[in-house]
Structure 1
Amino acid sequence: MTMPARVPRRAAPRRAAILETARRLFTEQGIGPVTTNLIAQQAGISPGNLYYWFGSKAEIVRALFDDWTARMSIPEELPSDPVDQLRWLWRRLVELPQPDPDYAFFLRDLFPLLHADPLLATTYRSNHAVRRDRLAATMDGLVAAGLVQAPTPPTTTRELVDLVWLVTETAQPFAAALGEDRAQANHYARTVAEALLTDEGRDALELAARRTGSEQ
């Protein structure tokens, strides 16, 4: 007999509470040591209640990954002005905490997670392709506007985006391995991003910073 499929109730408070509890525990302890029993205990529910919402810890991890990627998504429509686009990208890459403090545990354990869970790996690749293509299209526009340097052939814009992605998503474990502060991850991102700017791009960011400061 075929069991009816579990209907996801993404807005349900109980489901959200389970995810928030798991996120907190993963942040404090890492994903590996945390069990579904511990998540249920900390959420104040029975293990059976947890399994009504999630069939395994892997499902919880995937749901949190969906939440994280939604927060990190690239809007389909960025500001029309190239300078405003550059400011948006700069803020995302350099000024916002890297990685997102609420989901830093993903980058700490990213590669083991992807190797262990083929479904999560497929989702990661799909998300990467969408974000990379949107960022590459934006970068092409910034190159055309003279704000970002054109890559030297045979290097492509997509490869530059992959380079920035590689730095931002591996900077945290690298900094941790060297005993450095998490904020160092932003420094690595800035070093790579700033090297891609033209003089006009640097001037635009400096003017934007002064204008923002005067408005405050």
Structure 2
Amino acid sequence: MATRKAPRRTAQRILESSLALFNRFGEPGVSTNAIAADMGISPGNLYYHFPAKDDLVNALFLQYEQALQPILDAADAVTNVEDAWFFLHSLFEANWQYRFVFRNLNELLSRNRHLEARVREWMDALGRSMNALLSTMQSHRALLAPPLGWDTVGTSMVVVQVYWLSYEYVRDPRKALEEDNAQNAALRSAAHVLSLLAPYATSGQQAHLRHLIDAYGVRQAEAQANAAA
């Protein structure tokens, strides 16, 4: 006789429904009543598990951090351009799963002090991960050391990662963050961050770096933008 799966706990179901709605409509556009209605439960049941919408946001951000940590931990294993591409693409896939955070980040931080502290720690961890990646690639002779060190380059990589999905949304508010665009958004964002390494790539890595950037449309998109200007 087949063993029946245990039903998911209500709290986890609430988080799953909240994440789907936040990603689709943006966190400010989704009320707790809408989440309860989507699930077919009473608002009181939802309130029992999550007394405020900020509690939902904080719980979802914790899930995001937990999903991201194994990726960040692998930064010092990145030794070449191909490794960097896979690493960055993995990061952006995780970001996409919790894209509501990046769509409304400034607004969320303006009214959620707990999230403000968590995001600051997360960005510090992201910065350390980028610096570890850059230093490891340099030690394996995939990158040349910049005159002023890696801090500025690492910070630029963090900025693009944190605000890329917001940029995508501004360019196409109706479609950019829909599920059908997930793969293209991840590819574009990873390629743009990878392009920040171009000035420092050693001769043995330059050709493959250019191939990856060209393959995912960065240079074509820039050419189209310049032609339209």
Question: Whole-Å Cα distance in 1 between the matches of residues 76 and 157 of structure 2?
Answer: 21
Note if contact 2:143-2:200 (Cα within 8 Å) is conserved in structure 1: yes
SS at match of 2:51: coil
CA 72–56 in structure 1, closer or farther in 2 if over 3 Å, else same: same
Which of 109, 112, 115 pairs up with 2:107?
Answer: 112
Question: Whole-Å Cα distance in 2 between the matches of residues 179 and 139 of structure 1?
Answer: 32
Partner of 1:23: 19
Is 1:76–2:73 an aligned residue pair? yes
Q: CA deviation at 1:14?
A: 1.2
Is 1:176–2:180 an aligned residue pair? no
Mapping for residues 37-76 of structure 1, pairs under 5 Å: 37-73=33-69, 74-76=71-73
Note if contact 1:99-1:172 (Cα within 8 Å) is conserved in structure 2: no
CA 16–202 in structure 1, closer or farther in 2 if over 3 Å, else same: farther
Letter in 1 for 2:73: E
Which runs of no fewer than 5 residues in structure 2 stay unpaired?
Answer: 1-6, 212-229
Select between 184-193 and 106-115 the one with higher mean Cα deviation: 184-193
**TM, length-normalised to structure 1:** 0.75
Partner of 1:190: 194
Q: CA deviation at 1:93?
A: 1.8
User: What is the aligned-residue RMSD (CA, Å)?
Assistant: 3.1
Note if contact 1:146-1:201 (Cα within 8 Å) is conserved in structure 2: no
SS at match of 1:100: helix
Is 1:100–2:104 an aligned residue pair? no
Give the % identical residues.
Answer: 23
SS at match of 2:145: coil
Note if contact 2:84-2:194 (Cα within 8 Å) is conserved in structure 1: no
Select between 181-190 and 33-42 the one with higher mean Cα deviation: 181-190
SS at match of 2:28: coil
Which is helix-richer, 1 or 2?
2
Q: CA deviation at 1:163?
A: 0.5
- In the comparison of the two structures, how many residue pairs are matched? 194
CA deviations 1:182-210 (Å, max 9, x no partner) are: 63434432332444422233467799xxx
CA 187–99 in structure 1, closer or farther in 2 if over 3 Å, else same: farther
